[in-house]
Structure 1
Amino acid sequence: MYNPQAFVVEDLPQLHAMMGDCRLAVLITHGEHGLQASHLPLLLDPQQGPNGSLYGHMARANPQWHDLEAGAEALVVFAGADAYVSPGFYPSKAEHGKVVPTWNYLAVHAYGRAEVFSDPHRLRNLVGALTDRHEAGRAQPWKIDDAPAQYIDSMLKAIVGFTLPIQRLEGKRKLSQNRSPADISGVRHGLAASLDPQDQALAHLMHDLSSKE
């Protein structure tokens, strides 16, 4: 992705944290049938490989897994919070008017080649781990053992799992770092005043960033 130096994130734990905050990633491949994309919940193991490894599954009926099996490079996009930035947020608008709209956002791109698997034991462990992650915090979390074993076995036959060791990571955190301190403050306060949760999340991130500098 286009990533000016002011917005680059290179710290591995921070990249992993940004990936963990994204509940649904986009897996993109290019194979025999052209570009394909699937929206998938994924698990990250930060200890597997120099950049960590991703684990997920897709429907066996989804032809994209054949791209993975054939060794195609995959791009996985993790999108974080985003917010429209109005020129009206900038104090510099009143000074010279040379301002335009933009967008603040967080994103991580992970690249690698996957191993595809259909082993029922591995698939069951993967589905169980994904379930535990997203059921956490519920009063009565659902467990894979809550469903009849025969039913689960039939569902596992309908999916394909994959492991994707991350070969390369790109992180971007665009929080108005290329603007003047006054404009940054204006954007932060403008977003904080919004009722939109993502706008408020970006405002908090901008506050945290300015506190560290």
Structure 2
Amino acid sequence: MYQPPAFKETRRDVLLEAIAKHPLATLVCNTADGITANHLPMVVDGDKTQLHAHLSRGNDLYQQCEDGVEALAIFQGPAAYISADWYPGKQEHGKEVPTYNYVVVHVRGKLHFRHEASWKLHHLKSLTDMMEYGRATPWSLSDAPADYVARQLKGLYGLELEITEMAGKWKMSQNRKDADKLAVAEKLNQEGDATAVDVAAIIKKDL
């Protein structure tokens, strides 16, 4: 991933926090049949050295790849289009162009496949607890009948990505003057949607 110094993010805690907030990943693997990509939520394990996920047994990734194959998980955070019209310089000299602000995290690692019922059960509990946190009536895995859960477990397998490298890119107007950042943040807040507001908040942190 191309990382200009202004946009490069290396702090592990910041990268892991972004993954926790935006857990849907694009998992890219190289198989004998070529490159394949799967889209699935991934959760950071307890000691923060692995990412855990699961797939349906109908998805034959575990047959396409050898255990321990190198894989890349890509997480996309908040993103928004930035109009050139928003910069004060547009009115002064017109020498502005639009751009796109975004947050992205790349995680490389060795992919392992897990088929043990105990591993899958623990993973699903961790995943659902994370996703349900803060809800008025959070759903728990224990809400479903045990025999039903057991049948569901047989229809899936686990993924364990052993983290070897993490890279982040926060392209959030860091290369612009404060006046430009303030103008962009104001316009994004006026847009009103949740993602635009999130991008505005990240930009204003740099002021």
TM range (shorter): over 0.9
How far the C-alpha of 1:70 sits from its partner, in A, is 4.0
Deviations 1:54-75 (A, max 9, x none): 0111111112233453432111
How far the C-alpha of 1:114 sits from its partner, in A, is 1.4
Alignment of 1:157 with 2:144, yes or no, is no
Instruction: Name 1:207's counterpart in structure 2.
Output: 204
Question: 1:177 pairs with 169, 174, 179, which one?
Answer: 174
Provide the rounded CA distance (Å) in 2 between the counterparts of 1:5 and 1:65: 37
**Structure 2 alignment gaps of length 5 or more:** none
How far the C-alpha of 1:208 sits from its partner, in A, is 1.6
Deviations 1:83-106 (A, max 9, x none): 100001111112221211110011
Count the aligned residue pairs: 207
Provide the rounded CA distance (Å) in 1 between the counterparts of 2:141 and 2:59: 23
Provide the rounded CA distance (Å) in 2 between the counterparts of 1:59 and 1:34: 21
Provide the rounded CA distance (Å) in 1 between the counterparts of 2:71 and 2:6: 26
Instruction: Name 1:75's counterpart in structure 2.
Output: 72
| Structure 1 outlier segments of 4+, above 6 Å | none
- Using the size of structure 1 for normalisation, the TM-score is 0.91
Instruction: Name 1:111's counterpart in structure 2.
Output: 108
How far the C-alpha of 1:170 sits from its partner, in A, is 0.7
Deviates more, 1:56-65 or 1:74-83: 56-65
Instruction: Name 1:96's counterpart in structure 2.
Output: 93
Provide the rounded CA distance (Å) in 1 between the counterparts of 2:143 and 2:46: 29
**Structure 1 alignment gaps of length 5 or more:** none
- Using the size of structure 2 for normalisation, the TM-score is 0.93
How far the C-alpha of 1:36 sits from its partner, in A, is 1.5
CA RMSD of aligned residues (A): 1.5
How far the C-alpha of 1:46 sits from its partner, in A, is 6.1
How far the C-alpha of 1:205 sits from its partner, in A, is 1.0
Structure 2 vs 1, CA of residues 189 and 139 (structure 1 numbering), >3 Å: closer, same or farther? closer
Deviations 1:93-136 (A, max 9, x none): 12221211110011100001112110011111111111111122
Alignment of 1:18 with 2:15, yes or no, is no
3-state SS of 1:69 partner: coil
Q: Which has the higher strand share?
A: 2
Instruction: Name 1:39's counterpart in structure 2.
Output: 39
Provide the rounded CA distance (Å) in 2 between the counterparts of 1:35 and 1:132: 32
